[in-house]
Amino acid sequence: MRCITIAPEEEQAKLLRPNCSVGVRKRRRAVGRALLFLLFLVPGLVMPAAPPRSADHNFVLAEKFYREQAFSPAEKLYSQVDPTSADYPLAQLRLGTIYYLTGRPTQAEKCFSIYLRFQKTPEAYCLLAGALFNQQKFPLAVSAAQHALELDPKFAKAYTVLGMIHTAGKNFTSAEADYRQALKLNDHDSDTWFMLGRTLFFRDDFTEAAKAFEHALAINPQSVRSYENLARTKDVMGDVKGAEQCYQEGLRAGRDKTLFDPHIYVQYGEFLLKLGRPEDGQRVVEEGLRTAPSDAELHYELSKIDFRMNRLPAAAQEGEMALRLDGPDYKVDFLLAQIYTAMGNTEEASKHASRAAQSAPNSNP
């Protein structure tokens, strides 16, 4: 359905205040990224076969754009399909998918709900569950997934959705049971193997988590997030060489993707910095920034690297850029407080230290 990887994704979901920190927002984006996969689990929803000829020119042209993944013009045309048209229900399903892929779950929920008034399918209920999940409407998401199972008790994807919901609630035992039920029904599902790996990682069962990620990659060798999470798992297990190899393979796979996810660049840069290789980390992060120049996480990571290399003005500039792009973040403010202290700018250091203390997760509202 990321925006839910995980950055790290130790908490896939949390009820969030409007002015939450970037660290928390990263977890919220992680939720979206993890659920985006559900769209691609449902045959025909993202890249459908050509529909029957229609008298509605807007719908026909919208379908063409949709198949080409030109979502902006497709959205405009789908929204013009008349509610009295026979194409209206499918247009709403397409709109919901576009809204979901572009991070607008509230609008996606509305469109999926309209479609379900006309045709109740387990696929559409799973998509609705994903839109609800990304709004932290967990009980409603569970209900939608259960409706899918009422229509088809062997609909494996619904169990995957339930597993993700249970993971968000940190009920990892139930989540693992859901994923294994989904895999019992369909063991050739790369995304479910990936999500099982995440749950096992959360439970500190790193050996089994690595096996699950390897299953995911055996099915889909182009899964960037599987490489990233396998790399993190190998790193925790002490296999530094294996972790770096996974990061490099993930970068290669990501360069061929239509939808760019900068997170692996952040994680690889952090990994290299931890190994005492800031110059290599800088090259990785800057490669990510060439494609995603407005990604706050990448700017924050580059700020850390610049600080480690004692390039203080550059570090301050990157940290301030991260804040401009994504708002208050206690980790960025804490880093900037250290940078400005090293620069001898006590006024800015004090300002950022105060902000970091106010927005830290354990601080009072």
How far, in Å, CA of 251 to CA of 248, rounded?
Answer: 5
Cβ neighbours around 311 below 10 Å, total: 18
Say what the pLDDT of residue 260 is.
81
Query: Residue 89 pLDDT > 60, yes or no?
Result: yes
Query: Residue 164 pLDDT > 50, yes or no?
Result: yes
Say what the pLDDT of residue 44 is.
45
Q: Average pLDDT over the chain, rounded to whole?
A: 86
Say what the pLDDT of residue 2 is.
34
Angle at 27 between CA 234 and CA 274, to 5 degrees: 40
Structure confidence by residue, pLDDT tens digits, 291-349: 999 999 999 999 999 999 999 999 999 999 999 999 999 999 999 999 999 999 999 99
Identify which of 314, 257, 320, 313 has the alpha carbon closest to the alpha carbon of residue 288.
Answer: 257
Say what the pLDDT of residue 322 is.
97
Say what the pLDDT of residue 171 is.
94
How far, in Å, CA of 6 to CA of 301, rounded?
Answer: 15
As a CATH number, domain 268-365 is 1.25.40.10
Say what the pLDDT of residue 9 is.
32
The least confident of 200-204, 225-229, 255-259 is 255-259
How far, in Å, CA of 115 to CA of 132, rounded?
Answer: 15
The answer to whether the Cα torsion of 113, 115, 119, 123 is positive or negative is negative
